[in-house]
A and B are shown apart, each in its own frame.
Chain A
Protein backbone atom coordinates (compact mmCIF):
# COMPACT_ATOMS: atom_id res chain seq x y z
CA UNK A 1 0.00 0.00 0.00
CA UNK A 2 1.33 3.45 -0.80
CA UNK A 3 1.87 5.56 2.26
CA UNK A 4 2.73 9.08 3.30
CA UNK A 5 5.37 7.75 5.72
CA UNK A 6 8.13 5.13 5.73
CA UNK A 7 7.39 1.73 7.20
CA UNK A 8 9.65 2.52 10.17
CA UNK A 9 7.63 5.63 10.96
CA UNK A 10 4.39 3.67 10.76
CA UNK A 11 5.82 0.93 12.96
CA UNK A 12 6.71 3.47 15.66
CA UNK A 13 3.36 5.19 15.25
CA UNK A 14 1.23 2.07 15.49
CA UNK A 15 3.38 0.43 18.18
CA UNK A 16 5.07 3.25 20.08
CA UNK A 17 7.95 2.32 22.39
CA UNK A 18 8.39 3.76 25.89
CA UNK A 19 5.10 5.53 26.01
CA UNK A 20 3.73 7.01 29.22
CA UNK A 21 4.90 8.81 32.35
CA UNK A 22 7.75 8.06 34.75
CA UNK A 23 6.75 8.66 38.34
CA UNK A 24 9.44 10.59 40.20
CA UNK A 25 11.33 11.27 37.01
CA UNK A 26 14.79 12.79 37.44
CA UNK A 27 14.24 15.13 34.53
CA UNK A 28 11.24 16.25 32.51
CA UNK A 29 11.33 18.02 29.16
CA UNK A 30 8.13 19.77 28.15
CA UNK A 31 8.17 21.30 24.69
CA UNK A 32 5.73 22.43 22.08
CA UNK A 33 5.84 23.43 18.45
CA UNK A 34 4.35 26.81 17.79
CA UNK A 35 3.93 26.27 14.07
CA UNK A 36 1.75 23.21 14.15
CA UNK A 37 0.66 23.03 17.80
CA UNK A 38 2.17 19.65 18.68
CA UNK A 39 3.24 19.10 22.29
CA UNK A 40 5.73 16.57 23.68
CA UNK A 41 6.61 15.69 27.27
CA UNK A 42 9.66 13.54 27.89
CA UNK A 43 10.61 11.91 31.20
CA UNK A 44 14.03 10.51 32.11
CA UNK A 45 15.45 8.48 34.95
CA UNK A 46 19.20 8.85 35.43
CA UNK A 47 21.60 6.27 36.93
CA UNK A 48 25.31 5.53 36.89
CA UNK A 49 26.80 2.82 34.73
CA UNK A 50 29.67 0.50 35.71
CA UNK A 51 32.29 3.08 34.83
CA UNK A 52 30.51 5.65 36.97
CA UNK A 53 29.11 7.70 34.11
CA UNK A 54 25.58 9.00 34.26
CA UNK A 55 23.28 7.33 31.79
CA UNK A 56 19.62 7.51 30.85
CA UNK A 57 18.36 4.45 32.63
CA UNK A 58 14.75 4.88 31.66
CA UNK A 59 12.90 7.21 29.32
CA UNK A 60 9.23 7.71 28.49
CA UNK A 61 7.17 10.15 26.48
CA UNK A 62 3.72 11.62 26.13
CA UNK A 63 2.92 13.41 22.87
CA UNK A 64 -0.04 15.29 21.45
CA UNK A 65 0.58 15.48 17.75
CA UNK A 66 0.68 13.99 14.31
CA UNK A 67 2.07 10.67 13.13
CA UNK A 68 5.54 12.15 12.63
CA UNK A 69 5.51 13.69 16.11
CA UNK A 70 4.49 10.40 17.74
CA UNK A 71 6.99 8.37 15.71
CA UNK A 72 9.90 10.73 16.41
CA UNK A 73 8.98 10.66 20.12
CA UNK A 74 9.08 6.89 20.16
CA UNK A 75 12.28 6.81 18.09
CA UNK A 76 14.20 9.21 20.33
CA UNK A 77 13.41 7.15 23.43
CA UNK A 78 14.98 4.15 21.72
CA UNK A 79 18.02 6.15 20.62
CA UNK A 80 18.57 7.67 24.06
CA UNK A 81 17.86 4.74 26.33
CA UNK A 82 21.06 3.47 28.01
CA UNK A 83 23.17 6.29 26.57
CA UNK A 84 25.38 8.54 28.65
CA UNK A 85 23.99 12.05 29.11
CA UNK A 86 26.73 13.46 26.86
CA UNK A 87 25.86 11.05 24.07
CA UNK A 88 22.14 11.63 24.53
CA UNK A 89 22.65 15.36 24.04
CA UNK A 90 24.28 14.62 20.70
CA UNK A 91 21.10 13.04 19.32
CA UNK A 92 19.95 15.65 16.87
CA UNK A 93 17.17 15.81 14.32
CA UNK A 94 19.33 14.33 11.57
CA UNK A 95 19.95 11.19 13.64
CA UNK A 96 16.27 10.84 14.44
CA UNK A 97 15.21 11.30 10.82
CA UNK A 98 17.83 8.79 9.71
CA UNK A 99 16.68 6.21 12.24
CA UNK A 100 13.16 6.53 10.86
CA UNK A 101 14.17 5.97 7.26
CA UNK A 102 13.36 9.59 6.42
CA UNK A 103 10.46 11.97 6.97
CA UNK A 104 8.44 14.06 4.51
CA UNK A 105 10.10 17.48 4.19
CA UNK A 106 7.22 19.30 5.82
CA UNK A 107 7.49 17.00 8.87
CA UNK A 108 11.16 17.59 9.66
CA UNK A 109 10.14 20.09 12.34
CA UNK A 110 8.59 17.21 14.31
CA UNK A 111 12.04 15.66 14.78
CA UNK A 112 13.28 18.99 16.13
CA UNK A 113 10.54 18.77 18.76
CA UNK A 114 11.83 15.38 19.95
CA UNK A 115 15.44 16.56 20.11
CA UNK A 116 14.37 19.65 22.04
CA UNK A 117 12.40 17.54 24.52
CA UNK A 118 15.42 15.40 25.27
CA UNK A 119 17.64 18.48 25.70
CA UNK A 120 15.10 19.92 28.09
CA UNK A 121 14.79 16.73 30.11
CA UNK A 122 18.56 16.54 30.55
CA UNK A 123 18.73 20.25 31.33
CA UNK A 124 16.01 19.81 33.93
CA UNK A 125 17.97 16.96 35.56
CA UNK A 126 21.27 18.87 35.59
CA UNK A 127 19.66 21.99 36.97
CA UNK A 128 17.71 20.21 39.70
CA UNK A 129 20.89 18.45 40.82
CA UNK A 130 22.97 21.60 40.58
CA UNK A 131 25.30 20.05 38.03
CA UNK A 132 27.34 21.85 35.46
CA UNK A 133 25.44 22.93 32.36
CA UNK A 134 27.38 23.52 29.18
CA UNK A 135 27.10 26.87 27.43
CA UNK A 136 25.64 25.17 24.39
CA UNK A 137 22.88 23.45 26.37
CA UNK A 138 22.14 26.67 28.25
CA UNK A 139 21.71 28.46 24.93
CA UNK A 140 19.45 25.80 23.51
CA UNK A 141 17.37 25.88 26.69
CA UNK A 142 16.84 29.61 26.41
CA UNK A 143 15.66 29.35 22.81
CA UNK A 144 13.22 26.55 23.66
CA UNK A 145 11.94 28.47 26.68
CA UNK A 146 10.69 31.30 24.51
CA UNK A 147 8.30 29.19 22.46
CA UNK A 148 7.34 27.19 25.53
CA UNK A 149 5.63 30.13 27.15
CA UNK A 150 3.24 30.65 24.28
CA UNK A 151 2.52 26.93 24.02
CA UNK A 152 1.67 26.82 27.72
CA UNK A 153 -0.57 29.79 27.22
CA UNK A 154 -2.35 28.11 24.33
CA UNK A 155 -2.92 24.86 26.19
CA UNK A 156 -3.57 26.44 29.56
CA UNK A 157 -6.97 24.78 30.05
CA UNK A 158 -5.75 21.33 29.19
CA UNK A 159 -2.57 21.64 31.23
CA UNK A 160 -4.44 22.73 34.35
CA UNK A 161 -6.85 19.85 33.83
CA UNK A 162 -3.91 17.50 33.74
CA UNK A 163 -2.46 19.05 36.89
CA UNK A 164 -5.72 18.76 38.79
CA UNK A 165 -5.89 15.13 37.83
CA UNK A 166 -2.34 14.52 38.97
CA UNK A 167 -3.01 16.08 42.35
CA UNK A 168 -6.16 14.05 42.77
CA UNK A 169 -4.20 10.85 42.18
CA UNK A 170 -1.66 11.80 44.81
Chain B
Protein backbone atom coordinates (compact mmCIF):
# COMPACT_ATOMS: atom_id res chain seq x y z
CA UNK B 1 0.00 0.00 0.00
CA UNK B 2 1.31 3.47 -0.72
CA UNK B 3 2.26 4.17 2.87
CA UNK B 4 2.48 7.53 4.58
CA UNK B 5 3.00 6.23 8.07
CA UNK B 6 2.69 2.85 9.65
CA UNK B 7 -0.98 1.97 9.61
CA UNK B 8 -2.36 -1.52 9.84
CA UNK B 9 -5.37 -1.03 7.61
CA UNK B 10 -8.05 -3.63 8.33
CA UNK B 11 -11.05 -1.89 6.85
CA UNK B 12 -10.84 -3.10 3.25
CA UNK B 13 -14.60 -3.73 3.17
CA UNK B 14 -15.12 0.01 3.65
CA UNK B 15 -12.77 0.98 0.84
CA UNK B 16 -9.39 0.04 -0.59
CA UNK B 17 -6.39 2.06 -1.69
CA UNK B 18 -6.00 2.37 -5.46
CA UNK B 19 -3.51 -0.08 -6.95
CA UNK B 20 -0.60 2.01 -8.31
CA UNK B 21 -0.94 0.15 -11.65
CA UNK B 22 -4.57 1.22 -11.76
CA UNK B 23 -3.71 4.82 -11.05
CA UNK B 24 -1.11 4.74 -13.79
CA UNK B 25 -3.69 3.46 -16.28
CA UNK B 26 -6.07 6.25 -15.27
CA UNK B 27 -3.73 9.23 -15.40
CA UNK B 28 -3.68 9.84 -19.18
CA UNK B 29 -7.48 10.17 -19.10
CA UNK B 30 -7.22 13.15 -16.78
CA UNK B 31 -4.40 14.89 -18.58
CA UNK B 32 -4.20 14.35 -22.34
CA UNK B 33 -7.04 11.96 -23.23
CA UNK B 34 -9.66 13.94 -21.37
CA UNK B 35 -12.34 13.93 -24.04
CA UNK B 36 -16.09 13.62 -23.53
CA UNK B 37 -17.20 10.27 -24.88
CA UNK B 38 -20.18 11.96 -26.56
CA UNK B 39 -18.01 14.32 -28.65
CA UNK B 40 -17.53 13.63 -32.32
CA UNK B 41 -13.92 14.77 -32.58
CA UNK B 42 -10.90 12.54 -32.11
CA UNK B 43 -10.50 13.21 -28.38
CA UNK B 44 -14.14 12.32 -27.81
CA UNK B 45 -13.95 9.19 -29.90
CA UNK B 46 -10.82 8.13 -28.07
CA UNK B 47 -12.72 8.40 -24.80
CA UNK B 48 -15.60 6.47 -26.29
CA UNK B 49 -13.29 3.76 -27.50
CA UNK B 50 -11.62 3.22 -24.13
CA UNK B 51 -15.04 3.29 -22.45
CA UNK B 52 -16.24 0.46 -24.66
CA UNK B 53 -13.02 -1.44 -24.10
CA UNK B 54 -13.52 -1.12 -20.34
CA UNK B 55 -17.11 -2.28 -20.68
CA UNK B 56 -15.91 -5.35 -22.55
CA UNK B 57 -13.39 -6.20 -19.82
CA UNK B 58 -15.98 -5.95 -17.06
CA UNK B 59 -18.61 -7.88 -19.01
CA UNK B 60 -16.22 -10.74 -19.63
CA UNK B 61 -15.56 -11.21 -15.91
CA UNK B 62 -19.18 -12.09 -15.17
CA UNK B 63 -19.98 -13.78 -18.49
CA UNK B 64 -22.16 -10.92 -19.70
CA UNK B 65 -22.58 -9.27 -23.10
CA UNK B 66 -20.92 -5.89 -23.48
CA UNK B 67 -24.25 -4.17 -24.06
CA UNK B 68 -25.52 -5.46 -20.71
CA UNK B 69 -23.15 -3.34 -18.60
CA UNK B 70 -24.27 0.14 -17.51
CA UNK B 71 -21.64 2.23 -15.73
CA UNK B 72 -22.76 4.27 -12.75
CA UNK B 73 -21.15 6.49 -10.13
CA UNK B 74 -21.41 4.16 -7.17
CA UNK B 75 -22.74 0.81 -6.00
CA UNK B 76 -25.47 2.72 -4.16
CA UNK B 77 -26.52 4.25 -7.46
CA UNK B 78 -26.47 0.84 -9.17
CA UNK B 79 -28.66 -0.60 -6.43
CA UNK B 80 -31.06 2.36 -6.63
CA UNK B 81 -31.27 1.90 -10.40
CA UNK B 82 -31.86 -1.84 -10.05
CA UNK B 83 -34.65 -1.57 -7.49
CA UNK B 84 -36.41 1.60 -8.61
CA UNK B 85 -35.68 1.15 -12.31
CA UNK B 86 -37.12 -2.36 -12.43
CA UNK B 87 -40.04 -1.36 -10.21
CA UNK B 88 -41.06 1.60 -12.39
CA UNK B 89 -40.73 -0.37 -15.64
CA UNK B 90 -42.63 -3.42 -14.38
CA UNK B 91 -45.19 -1.94 -12.03
CA UNK B 92 -48.07 -2.97 -14.28
CA UNK B 93 -47.04 -6.61 -13.93
CA UNK B 94 -47.08 -6.44 -10.15
CA UNK B 95 -46.00 -4.40 -7.17
CA UNK B 96 -44.27 -6.87 -4.90
CA UNK B 97 -40.52 -7.00 -4.26
CA UNK B 98 -38.60 -9.44 -2.06
CA UNK B 99 -35.36 -8.48 -0.33
CA UNK B 100 -33.52 -9.83 2.69
CA UNK B 101 -33.31 -8.13 6.07
CA UNK B 102 -29.52 -7.84 5.77
CA UNK B 103 -29.25 -5.81 2.57
CA UNK B 104 -27.18 -2.66 2.39
CA UNK B 105 -29.11 0.50 3.42
CA UNK B 106 -29.30 1.61 -0.24
CA UNK B 107 -31.40 -1.47 -1.05
CA UNK B 108 -33.43 -1.26 2.16
CA UNK B 109 -34.23 2.39 1.61
CA UNK B 110 -34.90 2.14 -2.13
CA UNK B 111 -37.44 -0.55 -1.30
CA UNK B 112 -38.91 1.57 1.50
CA UNK B 113 -39.17 4.48 -0.96
CA UNK B 114 -41.25 2.34 -3.35
CA UNK B 115 -43.38 1.19 -0.45
CA UNK B 116 -44.06 4.76 0.61
CA UNK B 117 -44.45 6.49 -2.74
CA UNK B 118 -45.40 3.91 -5.38
CA UNK B 119 -47.75 1.48 -3.67
CA UNK B 120 -45.30 -1.42 -3.56
CA UNK B 121 -45.33 -4.20 -1.01
CA UNK B 122 -41.92 -5.26 0.26
CA UNK B 123 -41.13 -8.62 1.84
CA UNK B 124 -38.01 -8.50 3.98
CA UNK B 125 -36.88 -12.08 4.49
CA UNK B 126 -35.34 -13.22 7.73
CA UNK B 127 -31.94 -14.88 7.73
CA UNK B 128 -30.63 -17.67 9.96
CA UNK B 129 -28.19 -17.07 12.81
CA UNK B 130 -25.27 -17.21 10.37
CA UNK B 131 -26.89 -14.62 8.13
CA UNK B 132 -28.02 -16.92 5.34
CA UNK B 133 -31.24 -16.59 3.41
CA UNK B 134 -33.11 -19.85 2.98
CA UNK B 135 -33.92 -20.25 -0.74
CA UNK B 136 -37.11 -22.13 0.20
CA UNK B 137 -38.33 -18.95 1.92
CA UNK B 138 -37.98 -17.11 -1.37
CA UNK B 139 -40.00 -19.75 -3.21
CA UNK B 140 -42.70 -19.39 -0.56
CA UNK B 141 -42.68 -15.59 -0.60
CA UNK B 142 -43.06 -15.22 -4.38
CA UNK B 143 -46.62 -14.36 -5.42
CA UNK B 144 -48.29 -13.48 -8.72
CA UNK B 145 -47.51 -9.86 -7.88
CA UNK B 146 -43.76 -10.38 -7.39
CA UNK B 147 -41.59 -8.69 -10.01
CA UNK B 148 -38.16 -8.68 -8.38
CA UNK B 149 -36.04 -10.48 -5.82
CA UNK B 150 -32.88 -8.75 -4.57
CA UNK B 151 -30.46 -10.67 -2.35
CA UNK B 152 -26.86 -9.62 -1.83
CA UNK B 153 -24.06 -11.98 -2.86
CA UNK B 154 -22.16 -11.54 0.40
CA UNK B 155 -22.85 -9.40 3.41
CA UNK B 156 -20.62 -6.37 3.85
CA UNK B 157 -20.61 -6.50 7.65
CA UNK B 158 -20.24 -10.14 8.65
CA UNK B 159 -19.17 -11.61 5.31
CA UNK B 160 -21.65 -14.47 4.93
CA UNK B 161 -22.02 -15.67 1.35
CA UNK B 162 -25.60 -16.20 0.18
CA UNK B 163 -26.78 -19.15 -1.95
CA UNK B 164 -27.44 -16.95 -4.96
CA UNK B 165 -27.24 -19.69 -7.63
CA UNK B 166 -30.10 -21.51 -5.91
CA UNK B 167 -32.05 -18.29 -5.49
CA UNK B 168 -31.42 -17.42 -9.15
CA UNK B 169 -32.82 -20.78 -10.26
CA UNK B 170 -35.96 -20.34 -8.15
CA UNK B 171 -36.56 -16.86 -9.54
CA UNK B 172 -35.99 -18.04 -13.10
CA UNK B 173 -38.42 -20.94 -12.64
CA UNK B 174 -41.06 -18.58 -11.29
CA UNK B 175 -40.44 -15.92 -13.92
CA UNK B 176 -39.29 -13.28 -11.45
CA UNK B 177 -36.28 -11.00 -12.02
CA UNK B 178 -33.30 -11.57 -9.74
CA UNK B 179 -30.87 -8.83 -8.70
CA UNK B 180 -27.80 -9.36 -6.56
CA UNK B 181 -25.62 -6.73 -4.92
CA UNK B 182 -22.12 -8.08 -5.53
CA UNK B 183 -20.29 -5.04 -4.14
CA UNK B 184 -18.24 -7.24 -1.81
CA UNK B 185 -17.69 -10.14 -4.25
CA UNK B 186 -17.20 -8.85 -7.79
CA UNK B 187 -13.71 -9.85 -9.00
CA UNK B 188 -13.22 -11.68 -5.69
CA UNK B 189 -15.53 -14.66 -6.18
CA UNK B 190 -16.35 -16.43 -9.45
CA UNK B 191 -19.55 -15.07 -10.89
CA UNK B 192 -21.31 -16.23 -14.05
CA UNK B 193 -24.58 -14.41 -14.57
CA UNK B 194 -25.87 -17.12 -16.89
CA UNK B 195 -25.03 -20.13 -14.76
CA UNK B 196 -26.25 -18.35 -11.64
CA UNK B 197 -29.40 -17.07 -13.39
CA UNK B 198 -28.76 -13.48 -12.37
CA UNK B 199 -30.72 -10.78 -14.21
CA UNK B 200 -29.16 -7.73 -12.57
CA UNK B 201 -25.89 -7.39 -10.69
CA UNK B 202 -24.20 -4.51 -8.89
CA UNK B 203 -20.40 -4.27 -8.93
CA UNK B 204 -18.15 -1.65 -7.40
CA UNK B 205 -14.68 -0.31 -8.13
CA UNK B 206 -13.38 1.04 -4.84
CA UNK B 207 -13.66 -2.30 -3.05
CA UNK B 208 -11.21 -3.91 -5.47
CA UNK B 209 -8.35 -1.38 -5.54
CA UNK B 210 -10.01 0.79 -8.15
CA UNK B 211 -10.98 4.45 -7.69
CA UNK B 212 -14.11 5.72 -5.96
CA UNK B 213 -16.79 7.11 -8.26
CA UNK B 214 -17.14 4.10 -10.56
CA UNK B 215 -19.47 1.11 -10.41
CA UNK B 216 -21.78 -0.72 -12.77
CA UNK B 217 -25.07 -2.50 -13.06
CA UNK B 218 -25.32 -5.59 -15.20
CA UNK B 219 -28.77 -5.69 -16.80
CA UNK B 220 -29.70 -8.84 -18.71
CA UNK B 221 -30.87 -8.14 -22.27
CA UNK B 222 -34.61 -7.77 -22.42
CA UNK B 223 -35.00 -6.67 -18.81
CA UNK B 224 -37.42 -3.79 -18.46
CA UNK B 225 -35.78 -0.93 -16.57
CA UNK B 226 -36.52 2.80 -16.32
CA UNK B 227 -33.61 5.19 -15.88
CA UNK B 228 -33.50 7.13 -12.63
CA UNK B 229 -31.15 9.83 -13.97
CA UNK B 230 -32.65 11.61 -16.96
CA UNK B 231 -30.89 13.79 -19.49
CA UNK B 232 -28.37 12.55 -22.02
CA UNK B 233 -28.35 9.34 -24.02
CA UNK B 234 -25.26 7.89 -22.37
CA UNK B 235 -25.13 4.24 -21.33
CA UNK B 236 -27.74 3.07 -23.87
CA UNK B 237 -30.21 5.69 -22.62
CA UNK B 238 -30.14 4.12 -19.17
CA UNK B 239 -28.03 6.56 -17.19
CA UNK B 240 -27.64 10.22 -18.16
CA UNK B 241 -24.38 11.83 -17.05
CA UNK B 242 -21.07 12.69 -18.61
CA UNK B 243 -18.98 9.53 -18.53
CA UNK B 244 -16.31 9.45 -15.82
CA UNK B 245 -13.76 7.93 -18.17
CA UNK B 246 -10.68 7.87 -15.91
CA UNK B 247 -12.61 6.19 -13.07
CA UNK B 248 -14.10 3.61 -15.43
CA UNK B 249 -10.70 2.87 -16.96
CA UNK B 250 -9.43 2.36 -13.41
CA UNK B 251 -12.39 0.17 -12.52
CA UNK B 252 -11.77 -2.11 -15.51
CA UNK B 253 -8.05 -2.29 -14.87
CA UNK B 254 -8.58 -3.05 -11.17
CA UNK B 255 -11.10 -5.79 -12.01
CA UNK B 256 -8.74 -7.46 -14.45
CA UNK B 257 -5.91 -7.47 -11.91
CA UNK B 258 -8.15 -8.87 -9.16
CA UNK B 259 -9.51 -11.65 -11.33
CA UNK B 260 -6.02 -12.67 -12.33
CA UNK B 261 -5.00 -12.95 -8.68
CA UNK B 262 -8.32 -14.27 -7.37
CA UNK B 263 -7.55 -17.90 -6.52
CA UNK B 264 -4.16 -17.24 -4.99
CA UNK B 265 -5.29 -14.16 -3.10
CA UNK B 266 -8.39 -15.82 -1.66
CA UNK B 267 -6.30 -18.69 -0.36
CA UNK B 268 -3.82 -16.31 1.25
CA UNK B 269 -6.49 -14.11 2.81
CA UNK B 270 -8.57 -17.03 4.08
CA UNK B 271 -5.54 -18.42 5.87
CA UNK B 272 -4.80 -15.06 7.51
CA UNK B 273 -8.49 -14.63 8.37
CA UNK B 274 -8.63 -18.05 10.01
CA UNK B 275 -5.53 -17.31 12.02
CA UNK B 276 -7.13 -14.06 13.15
CA UNK B 277 -10.46 -15.68 14.06
CA UNK B 278 -8.87 -18.56 15.92
CA UNK B 279 -6.48 -16.22 17.71
CA UNK B 280 -9.14 -13.77 18.83
CA UNK B 281 -11.64 -16.37 20.00
CA UNK B 282 -8.99 -18.28 21.96
CA UNK B 283 -7.37 -15.22 23.52
CA UNK B 284 -10.48 -13.24 24.47
CA UNK B 285 -13.18 -14.64 26.75
CA UNK B 286 -16.85 -13.88 26.08
CA UNK B 287 -16.10 -13.22 22.41
CA UNK B 288 -18.01 -14.60 19.44
CA UNK B 289 -17.67 -14.73 15.69
CA UNK B 290 -20.52 -13.12 13.76
CA UNK B 291 -21.53 -14.54 10.40
CA UNK B 292 -21.03 -17.99 8.92
CA UNK B 293 -18.02 -19.96 10.22
CA UNK B 294 -17.21 -21.37 6.76
CA UNK B 295 -19.28 -19.74 4.03
CA UNK B 296 -17.82 -16.28 4.47
CA UNK B 297 -15.68 -13.84 2.51
CA UNK B 298 -12.00 -14.72 2.59
CA UNK B 299 -11.18 -11.29 3.99
CA UNK B 300 -13.89 -10.83 6.64
CA UNK B 301 -13.77 -11.40 10.40
CA UNK B 302 -16.53 -9.93 12.58
CA UNK B 303 -16.58 -10.35 16.35
CA UNK B 304 -18.66 -9.34 19.34
CA UNK B 305 -17.14 -8.83 22.77
CA UNK B 306 -19.37 -8.73 25.82
CA UNK B 307 -19.18 -5.79 28.26
CA UNK B 308 -17.41 -3.35 25.92
CA UNK B 309 -18.52 -0.89 23.26
CA UNK B 310 -17.37 -0.85 19.64
CA UNK B 311 -16.41 2.77 19.15
CA UNK B 312 -14.13 2.52 22.18
CA UNK B 313 -12.50 -0.54 20.62
CA UNK B 314 -12.08 1.25 17.29
CA UNK B 315 -10.44 4.35 18.76
CA UNK B 316 -8.23 2.26 21.06
CA UNK B 317 -7.07 0.33 18.00
CA UNK B 318 -6.69 3.60 16.10
CA UNK B 319 -4.41 4.94 18.82
CA UNK B 320 -2.16 1.95 18.09
CA UNK B 321 -2.28 2.47 14.34
CA UNK B 322 -4.95 -0.08 13.44
CA UNK B 323 -7.95 0.91 11.27
CA UNK B 324 -11.13 -1.16 11.77
CA UNK B 325 -14.91 -0.69 12.01
CA UNK B 326 -17.93 -1.49 14.22
CA UNK B 327 -21.69 -1.93 14.06
CA UNK B 328 -22.19 -0.24 17.43
CA UNK B 329 -25.03 2.24 17.84
CA UNK B 330 -22.54 4.78 19.17
CA UNK B 331 -20.74 4.87 15.84
CA UNK B 332 -23.83 5.42 13.72
CA UNK B 333 -25.38 8.75 12.83
CA UNK B 334 -28.74 7.54 14.03
CA UNK B 335 -27.45 5.98 17.25
CA UNK B 336 -28.95 2.70 16.13
CA UNK B 337 -27.03 -0.56 16.16
CA UNK B 338 -26.33 -2.29 12.86
CA UNK B 339 -29.57 -3.71 11.46
CA UNK B 340 -27.76 -6.70 10.02
CA UNK B 341 -26.23 -7.73 13.36
CA UNK B 342 -29.69 -7.53 14.94
CA UNK B 343 -31.03 -9.57 11.99
CA UNK B 344 -28.71 -12.48 12.86
CA UNK B 345 -30.08 -12.44 16.38
CA UNK B 346 -27.53 -10.38 18.27
CA UNK B 347 -28.90 -8.48 21.22
CA UNK B 348 -28.44 -4.72 21.18
CA UNK B 349 -25.57 -4.91 23.65
CA UNK B 350 -23.81 -7.56 21.57
CA UNK B 351 -24.07 -5.40 18.46
CA UNK B 352 -22.74 -2.63 20.71
CA UNK B 353 -19.52 -4.56 21.20
CA UNK B 354 -18.95 -5.58 17.60
CA UNK B 355 -15.72 -5.28 15.66
CA UNK B 356 -15.21 -5.83 11.94
CA UNK B 357 -11.73 -6.53 10.64
CA UNK B 358 -11.47 -6.84 6.86
CA UNK B 359 -8.25 -7.89 5.19
CA UNK B 360 -6.85 -7.03 1.79
CA UNK B 361 -3.98 -7.12 -0.62
CA UNK B 362 -1.51 -5.40 1.65
CA UNK B 363 -2.40 -7.29 4.83
CA UNK B 364 0.50 -9.39 6.10
CA UNK B 365 0.89 -12.06 8.73
CA UNK B 366 2.79 -9.48 10.77
CA UNK B 367 -0.32 -7.29 10.79
CA UNK B 368 -2.44 -10.16 12.10
CA UNK B 369 0.13 -10.97 14.79
CA UNK B 370 0.12 -7.33 15.84
CA UNK B 371 -3.68 -7.31 16.19
CA UNK B 372 -3.58 -10.55 18.16
CA UNK B 373 -1.02 -8.98 20.44
CA UNK B 374 -2.84 -5.72 21.17
CA UNK B 375 -6.55 -6.53 20.88
CA UNK B 376 -6.79 -8.76 24.01
CA UNK B 377 -5.20 -5.95 26.05
CA UNK B 378 -7.58 -3.38 24.65
CA UNK B 379 -10.63 -5.50 25.48
CA UNK B 380 -9.21 -6.23 28.92
CA UNK B 381 -8.65 -2.54 29.65
CA UNK B 382 -12.12 -1.56 28.46
CA UNK B 383 -13.60 -4.32 30.62
CA UNK B 384 -11.74 -2.93 33.62
CA UNK B 385 -13.51 0.37 33.02
CA UNK B 386 -16.85 -1.34 32.39
CA UNK B 387 -19.26 -1.97 35.28
CA UNK B 388 -19.89 -5.40 33.78
CA UNK B 389 -17.18 -7.93 34.23
CA UNK B 390 -16.45 -11.59 34.05
Contacts and interface: CB of A to CB of B under 8 A. Distances in A.
Contact of B387 (A35, A41, A66, A68): A41
Contacts of B348: 37, 154
A155 B328 contact: no
B385 A19 contact: yes
Given A64-B387, A65-B312, A67-B311, A36 B306 contact: no
Interface string B315-341: 110010000000011110101010000
A123 interface: no
Nearest to A159: B388
A162 B389 contact: yes
Interface string B12-31: 00000000000000000000
B309 A65 contact: yes
B387 A39 contact: yes
A13 B312 contact: yes
A66 B311 contact: yes
A102 interface: no
Interface residues of A, number: 34
Nearest to A62: B387
Contacts of B384: 19-20
Interface in A13-46: 13-14, 16, 19-20, 30, 35-41
Given A65-B330, A66-B330, A154-B349, A36 B335 contact: yes
B331 A64 contact: no
A64 B309 contact: yes
Question: Looking at B337, B349, B385, which has the most chain A CB atoms within 10 Å of its CB?
Answer: B385
B71 interface: no
A81 B389 CA distance: 26
A70 B217 CA distance: 44
Interface residues of B, number: 27
A64 B389 CA distance: 10
Nearest to A165: B389
A4 interface: yes
Given A13-B315, A19-B385, A162-B387, A64 B330 contact: no
Interface string B375-390: 0000000001111111
A25 to B, nearest CB: 13
A40 B348 CA distance: 17
Nearest to A13: B315
A159 B390 CA distance: 11
Binding site of A, secondary structure by majority: helix, strand, loop or mixed?
Answer: mixed
A40 B319 CA distance: 23
B352 interface: yes
B167 interface: no
Interface in B339-378: 348-349, 352
B385 A66 contact: no
A68 B309 CA distance: 11
Nearest to A35: B335
A36 B353 CA distance: 12
Interface in B39-61: none
B307 interface: yes
B385 A16 contact: yes
Contacts of B387: 30, 39-41, 62-64, 162
Contacts of B333: 106
A66 B328 contact: yes
Contacts of A135: none
Given A37-B348, A66-B330, A158-B307, A4 B386 contact: no
A37 B349 contact: yes
Contacts of B309: 37-38, 64-66, 69
5 contacts: A20-B384, A40-B387, A41-B387, A64-B309, A64-B385
Interface of B: 306-312, 315-316, 319, 328-331, 333, 335, 337, 348-349, 352, 384-390
